[in-house]
Structure 1
Amino acid sequence: MSQSPSSQSIMPPKLYLLTNDDEFGLLYQKLEAALSTNLIGLLQIRRKQIVSLPNGDAMLYEEAKQIVELANIYEVPVVINDDIELAVKLGVGVHLGQTDGKISDALQVLAPSQIIGRTCHGDIELIKKAKKNGASYAAMGAVFASTTKPNANIVSREQLIEGCQQGIPICVIGGLTAENISELADIPIALVAVVDDIMGLPVDKVAERCYEWQQALSK
């Protein structure tokens, strides 16, 4: 039974954690701290600096294998950033930028249960296309300026509202913190993607920040 928009809007968004470029041992500790709170709804493996190394693909595979094993313990679904082939190898989902592969290709090779995300920025036509092509969610951003993408175009409140009216779960990303997320309180967003506001912290602060996020999202 599908939810009506009103019942959907009272569902708090899920916290969607993205990895950063920390040294792997440190990254793993932070992920363990975050996942053990049972507050993470989705995890994306995005390791831009590793991928750019000469043996980056092999390194990423070894890292991702360990991260997926950890996520499985806490029953958190995983998506790989921009790499359908690696997603297939690991048996996880994928998040695709506009130039990083077709949704149709991912659908052909991934298990039906796997999540396929699509970057749509603030473009409503891209959101409609992502829905039509079978994506699980469309990502809109940047919502605020962020340290990871300081030059990204900012998406307006009107664009976010319109995006949420397209019949596909919307993920917001870009400069989001547990404090500024309240500005989006009345928009029926499905996923809130966070990198720096959790992964930028020392290991011993990660769990506490996840709980602060849970409080913010439940409002």
Structure 2
Amino acid sequence: MNRMERLTACRLYGIVDLGYIPEDQLIPVSKKLLAGGLGILQLRAKNHAPEHIERMGRQLAPLCREYGCLFIINDYPEVARSIGADGVHLGQEDGKLEAARSLLGPDALIGRSTHSPEQALGGFREGADYIGFGPLFPTGTKPGRQAIGLEHIAGVQAQLPEDFPVFCIGGINKATLPAVLDAGATRAVIVSWLLTHPDITGTVEAVRRRLGEA
């Protein structure tokens, strides 16, 4: 399968976020995520220099390839290109998507964070390969970002092509996942619940089954 086909097959999107784990746990935690069959993993390291992120990415990229997992860099297209990552994820304030596409080429995966139905449709129209939609609930991953709730999930997905990946994000955990799915979500980004769980691998496997991926 090519990258887009592999992305479309993914229902669970993992993020190894240095806001939740210390750097010396980057590889051990990533291995636990990957052992659960995770299909896409993003490195997120806010407030770290691009050069530092590149060094960490060079450790993660071959590990993800070993496990057959897509590897995404948050925020920095130049780093993604330098280390041969599968793509980059951009926030609303991270520049135009076409600039990243020009740098990374047509086969790279480019995601966009969106926080409203208008932004979600805008992300699709500007050529994103997938979008993150949220935060659905208040979350420490995005402090200060107002939660958008569950009411727009089904409507957004109905306005986009059926196979276009919409990954719901923000405060999704064991308690909130059922409501997210009941609201029409088919894909989810889960951060702190996975990273802080005593059984990371088993939880990845269980959530993938719940989402219909495994």
* Shared fold per TM-score greater than 0.5: yes
Q: Secondary structure at the match of 1:185?
A: helix
Would the aligned equivalents of 2:151 and 2:183 in 1 still touch at CA under 8 Å?
no
Alignment of 1:90-129 (within 5 A): 90-92=83-85, 93-121=87-115, 123-129=116-122
For 1:129 and 1:109, locate their aligned partners in 2 and report how far apart those are by CA, in whole Å. 21
Q: Percent identity?
A: 26
| Number of positions where the alignment pairs a residue of Structure 1 with one of Structure 2 | 200
2:194 alignment partner in structure 1: 198
Structure 1 residues 117 and 12, CA gap change in structure 2 (3 angstroms): closer
For 2:26 and 2:174, locate their aligned partners in 1 and report how far apart those are by CA, in whole Å. 21
Residue 102 of structure 1: CA displacement? 1.1
Alignment of 1:1-219 (within 5 A): 14-21=11-18, 22-38=21-37, 40-49=38-47, 51=48, 56-92=49-85, 93-121=87-115, 123-167=116-160, 168-202=164-198, 205-218=199-212
Residue 186 of structure 1: CA displacement? 4.2
Residue 157 of structure 1: CA displacement? 2.4
- Structure 2: gaps of 5 or more residues: 1-7
Q: Secondary structure at the match of 1:157?
A: coil
For 2:182 and 2:197, locate their aligned partners in 1 and report how far apart those are by CA, in whole Å. 28
Structure 1 residues 174 and 184, CA gap change in structure 2 (3 angstroms): same
Q: TM-score, normalised by structure 2?
A: 0.85
Would the aligned equivalents of 1:182 and 1:216 in 2 still touch at CA under 8 Å?
no
- Higher-Rg structure is 1
Q: Secondary structure at the match of 2:158?
A: coil
- Structure 1: gaps of 5 or more residues: 1-10
- Select between 63-72 and 160-169 the one with higher mean Cα deviation: 160-169
Amino acid at match of 2:32: A
Q: TM-score, normalised by structure 1?
A: 0.83
Structure 1 residues 30 and 64, CA gap change in structure 2 (3 angstroms): same
Structure 1 residues 73 and 20, CA gap change in structure 2 (3 angstroms): same
Q: Secondary structure at the match of 1:218?
A: coil
2:5 alignment partner in structure 1: none
Would the aligned equivalents of 1:127 and 1:166 in 2 still touch at CA under 8 Å?
no
Cα RMSD of the aligned pairs, angstroms, is 2.1
- Select between 171-180 and 148-157 the one with higher mean Cα deviation: 148-157
Amino acid at match of 1:212: A
